[in-house]
Amino acid sequence: MNQIAPDILDRLRAVVGDKGVIADPAEMRPYLTEWRDLWHGVSPLILRPASTEEVAEIVRLCAETGTKLVPQGGNTSLCGGSVPFEGGDEIVLSLSRMHAVREIDLENDTITVEAGCILQDVQQAAEEAGRLFPMRIAAEGSCQIGGNLSTNAGGTAVLRYGNMRDLVLGLEVVLPDGRIWHGLRGLRKDNTGYDLKQLFIGAEGTLGIVTAAVLKLYPRPAAVETAFMAVPDVAAAVAMLGTAKALSGNQVTTFELVPRLGLDMVLRHVADTHDPLEGRHDWYVLMELSAGRDTGALKETMEAILVEGYEQGRVLDATMAASEAQSQALWKLRESMSEAQKYEGGSIKHDVSVPVSRMAAFIAEASEYVVDLIPGTRIVAFGHIGDGNVHFNPSQPPEMDKQAFLDRWDEVGHRVYEKVRKFGGSISAEHGLGRLKRDEIVQYKDPVEMELMRRIKRSLDPQNIMNPGKVLNPEG
Amino acid sequence: MNQIAPDILDRLRAVVGDKGVIADPAEMRPYLTEWRDLWHGVSPLILRPASTEEVAEIVRLCAETGTKLVPQGGNTSLCGGSVPFEGGDEIVLSLSRMHAVREIDLENDTITVEAGCILQDVQQAAEEAGRLFPMRIAAEGSCQIGGNLSTNAGGTAVLRYGNMRDLVLGLEVVLPDGRIWHGLRGLRKDNTGYDLKQLFIGAEGTLGIVTAAVLKLYPRPAAVETAFMAVPDVAAAVAMLGTAKALSGNQVTTFELVPRLGLDMVLRHVADTHDPLEGRHDWYVLMELSAGRDTGALKETMEAILVEGYEQGRVLDATMAASEAQSQALWKLRESMSEAQKYEGGSIKHDVSVPVSRMAAFIAEASEYVVDLIPGTRIVAFGHIGDGNVHFNPSQPPEMDKQAFLDRWDEVGHRVYEKVRKFGGSISAEHGLGRLKRDEIVQYKDPVEMELMRRIKRSLDPQNIMNPGKVLNPEG
């Protein structure tokens, strides 16, 4: 095991002081453990700097001594990008003490926050200021803005508001040599050279450490309509997305696919859930519209969408939430999908995207291809089909041994990704590469693109000290 | 004068054949002349390749021989980025023969076009397919998509739909070594490493040649409301933007500032223009709302916005267009502003941005500062204040000699940019750097950022053959 020399550790401790160091093994554990328990990293120290200057001083010291760093936010990532490897020669730099809301500028519709702000706290600060910060993901109660930025987080409001990348106007970044890039601009237009902030968004901490950001705020929606509709197949769901976008004029906030198989699992295992429709149908869509002004027109719009859907045979049955409680009940069906799947044994998760127009063909072909490999596998394909993003998560056949099923993860993944490739998609829509998909991506991405990525990495982090081995294989 | 060796020119000619070469001086002139007649470049040849493969072959040959290239679209840029220098050692590569619409995917809401497509043709192809491609700029009848991408074009619909950067899903790019990067993905979510397309958008052809793009389409608005309102001052205009955004829930498509001084120039010089309001007021706003469904609610929303404005004393008078013709008449007032200014003698143009919340203070202070330098100067500050972007264009004092006024361009610019800096703004909001602002930007931008830009340039174009000397000074 490589070791970081004791004098370097002492100097690092000195930068942040006692308050900023965690060295007790038990206290360190949550920072070293990937939250699904897939990886257990090793690190001599967790550093928790309190300011951008402290972050910069740490990175300067690491650059000087060739010491490796793993920047960490809420450690809720799904591809292992936020925990160190097992070698023991990486320092975890947690941004969690940097959680100030530095500024809210209402006329500019911006909020400036530090990287360690928890997403929910940003949502709440916006709400208290009479605005909306629209990013909405499952981990919002514990994930941090710096992580959201570094993974270009997605979630259930992308259809209307975009990914995290689309919500950023400016960044403050500590570069791999310890210099600070003061890019905290609150400008909606700025064409003065290369848009450097784009490099750090989605880079999973491999090109620098994001310490603060200027984020966009939006008007709070005054009217929200939620519907749950049964559709004959995925193609009909996609066609309904077109209808909904056209009739509402982009007021569709959420458009989520729910398969009957997954709904059954939820109804079976999750308390206080009920089938909102009477008959059994193979596919459902949870749809939300929102509008800034409550004129009653939104309800009318939703009704018009559903009526058109009935008439075209694309909606078989539907219900509209008549209250906030009913809306929450519908959302719960969608949001409990992952949890419910756990009670059904092993499942093999894929977060993939294809063009929206290929969604139906992709789900059909990939399902058949996986079931052909392991007969009896139950395909639970659900999620953000409005963005062309589906969580394609086969559950084990009921009678199969869990481990025997999970042992075939790579074979199943290979079949799913073959179909992703066929339909021009991505093997990681929302979750990034981290270490989980680092080597896999090389099989699916244009070698020219891989080489460009390596060039960018070498150019900004020539010593390879920033989250080394994540996203790109240093040997590759 | 440097010369490109005859055998290299012969080899370049051979790549594209006779159809793809312009060598006659008269025919070459439009490709070498900046459209405001500020610069007249020199080049031995204009190459007009017909395919991505031909572009790649040209670039490979240039990389092999160290020959410099200037990629060119519609040549409507405003900072000189699209014409060669005067040295005669650069080849102009015009994308104008590559103007195919490769694909329209309605369910994915995307259109795939080649770089040489004229913007208006893309708008029209979208319209014929029942969709909207929302980019709207003055040069739309002649500018090309490749140029729009390379300058990250803005325009009058940015408030609702974003800049060009926000309208792109994928790119095909010929890299400075002649390899093709096939990044034409139609995905709304793809987190598999660095988002390389962002590098080429807004890079003004200095990092590679964009040959095709996948662009986003939107539903066509079914209802549009246009209003022209008099406001007491810029601060009131900005406050009204907030009111309009909140009451409409982001249905504001356009929010343009019009100063009385500029309106007077339009009424004086442009045929068929009329003051739509009775009294004289210092400032006006042209506002447009649009909605996907025509329920009558949009008119009601516009009225509600204006009523709230009246009640708060932020709207002094207003008119709503009752017909398409009336709407066009209001737009004409805004769109004739630059033309009208020409008849008033010399004007010194600045395309700047600041946070929306600083707009009023910026305009007030910069105006005072410039008038203090040249008393009698008439400040015409107009444009996209909804994006924090104003065209700050002082017109000469009526009695002053035109050339004497224009001779003070740099002094005036310095004062404007000092105020831009003070308010955290950008000295080029929409138009890029090109050669016009290449050296100026160094005074206003963080040296760390300049150095990062240089590193990216060196990393992707180590020979500096792609539009050399634009954006970055190779000596600097």
- pLDDT tens-digit profile of A257-294? 999 999 999 999 999 999 999 999 999 999 999 987 77
Cβ-based contacts of A189 with chain B (< 8 Å): 154, 158, 163, 353, 384, 387-389, 426, 429-430
Q: Which of B165, B221, B357 sits opposite A107 (nearest CB)?
A: B357
pLDDT band at A2; cut points 50, 70, 90: low
pLDDT interval class at B332 (50, 70, 90)? very high
CA distance A344 to A338: 10
Contact A219 B459 (CB under 8 A): no
Tokens of B138: 């003055």
Spatial separation of the C-alpha atoms in residues A272 and B44, rounded to whole Å: 76
pLDDT for the residue numbered B99: 98
Closest Cα in chain B, distance from residue A1 (Å): 29
* Number of alpha carbons in the 13 Å side-chain half-sphere of residue A246: 17
Which chain B residue's Cα is nearest to A214?
B355
Q: What is the pLDDT of residue A263?
A: 98
> pLDDT tens digits for B347-400?
999 999 999 999 999 999 999 999 999 999 999 999 999 999 999 999 999 999
Residue A98: helix, strand or coil by DSSP? coil
Q: How many CB atoms lie within 10 A of CB A38?
A: 13
Angle, helix A52-65 to helix A6-16, in steps of 10 degrees: 170
How does the average pLDDT of chain A come out, rounded?
Answer: 96
Cα gap B286→B99, rounded to integer Å: 34
Inter-chain CB proximity A471 and B300 less than 8 Å: no
* Cβ distance of A389 and B188 shorter than 8 Å: yes
Chain-chain contact of A182 with B448 (C-beta, under 8 angstroms): yes
- Cβ atoms A247, A338 nearer than 8 A: no
**If you average pLDDT over every residue of chain B, what do you get?**
96
DSSP code at position A358: G
Cross-chain residue pair A239–B107, CB shorter than 8 Å = yes
Check whether A330 has a pLDDT greater than 90.
Answer: yes
Q: Do A193 and B471 touch (CB under 8 A)?
A: yes
Tokens (6 digits) for B48: 């007009």
CA distances from B27 to B24, B31, B95 (A): 5, 8, 16
Nearest CA in chain A to B251: A292
Determine how many CB atoms are found less than 10 A away from the CB of residue A252.
24
Residues of chain B with C-beta less than 8 angstroms from the C-beta of A52:
none
pLDDT category, B64, cuts 50, 70, 90? Answer: very high
**Inter-chain touch B195–A198, beta carbons under 8 Å:** yes
Which residue reads 């060796």 in tokens?
B5
Radius of gyration of chain B (CA): 23
Is the separation of the CB atoms in A464 and B226 below 8 Å?
no
Q: Is A357 within 8 Å of B198 when comparing Cβ atoms? A: no
pLDDT in tens, B405-425: 999 999 999 999 999 999 999
The C-alpha atoms of residue B44 and residue B11 are separated, in whole angstroms, by 13
Among A189, A301, A421, the strongest candidate for a mutation testing the B interface, having the largest count of B CBs within 10 A, is: A189
Q: How far apart are CA A378 and CA B238, in angstroms?
A: 55
Across the interface, which of B222, B301, B433 has its CB nearest the CB of A192?
B433
Tallying the residues shown for chain B, one arrives at: 476
CB contact under 8 A, A249 and B293: yes
> Each residue of B16-43: pLDDT tens digit?
999 999 999 999 999 999 987 889 999 9
Closest CA to B167 of A162, A183, A149, A197: A162
Mean pLDDT, residues A358-383 taken together: 98
Tell me the one-letter amino acid at B253: T
Tell me how far CA of residue A399 lies from CA of A65, A402, B329, in angstroms.
Answer: 55, 9, 72
- State the greatest distance between any 2 C-alpha atoms of chain A, in Å, as a whole number: 74
Inter-chain CB proximity B194 and A242 less than 8 Å: no
Sign for the CA dihedral angle at A351, A352, A356, A358 comes to: negative
Nearest to A300 among B185, B295, B445 (CB): B295
Contact: B154, A189; criterion CB under 8 Å? yes
Structure tokens at A85: 């490897």
Cβ separation of B445 and A222 shorter than 8 Å?
no
> Which of B106, B248, B290 lies closest to A293 in CB terms?
B248
**Which residues of A are less than 8 Å from B421 in CB distance?**
none
Residue of A194, A241, A291 lying closest to B202 (CB–CB): A194
State the CB neighbour count (10 A cutoff) for residue A260: 15
Q: Which residues of B touch A471 (CB under 8 A)?
A: 193-194
Domains of chain A in start order, with CATH, are 6-94 (3.30.43.10), 101-219 (3.30.465.10), 223-338 (3.30.70.2190), 344-422 (3.30.70.2740)
pLDDT attached to residue B26? 96
Q: What is the mean pLDDT of residues B171-198?
A: 97
- Closest-CA residue of chain B to A431: B191
Tokens of B168: 């792109």
CA distance A75 to A206: 16
Instruction: State the DSSP H helix or E strand holding residue A382, giving kind and residue range, or none if neither.
Output: strand A378-382
* pLDDT tens track for B200-236: 999 999 999 999 999 999 999 989 999 999 999 999 9
Model pTM score:
0.96
Question: Cβ separation of B190 and A433 shorter than 8 Å?
Answer: no
Tokens of A293: 């002004």
CA dist list (Å): B419 to A448, B283, B365: 43, 21, 7
- Nearest C-alpha in A relative to B131: A246
Predicted confidence (pLDDT) per residue in B103-133, tens digit: 999 999 999 999 999 999 999 999 999 999 9
pLDDT in tens, A381-407: 999 999 999 999 999 999 999 999 999
Query: Quick check: A249 and B221 CB within 8 A?
Result: yes
The answer to whether the Cβ–Cβ distance between B426 and A192 falls below 8 Å is yes
* A238: closest chain B residue by CA: B107
Sign of the dihedral defined by the CA atoms of residues B321, B322, B327, B330, in that order:
negative
Q: Which residues of A touch B458 (CB under 8 A)?
A: 459
Start-to-end Cα distance in chain A: 22
- Cα–Cα distance, A464 to A454 (Å, whole number): 11
Q: Residue B2's pLDDT band (boundaries 50, 70, 90)?
A: low
Cα(A279)–Cα(B180) distance, integer angstroms: 53
Chain B residues with CB under 8 Å of A187 CB are 353-355, 388, 424-426, 429
Interface contacts A/B by beta carbons within 8 Å:
294
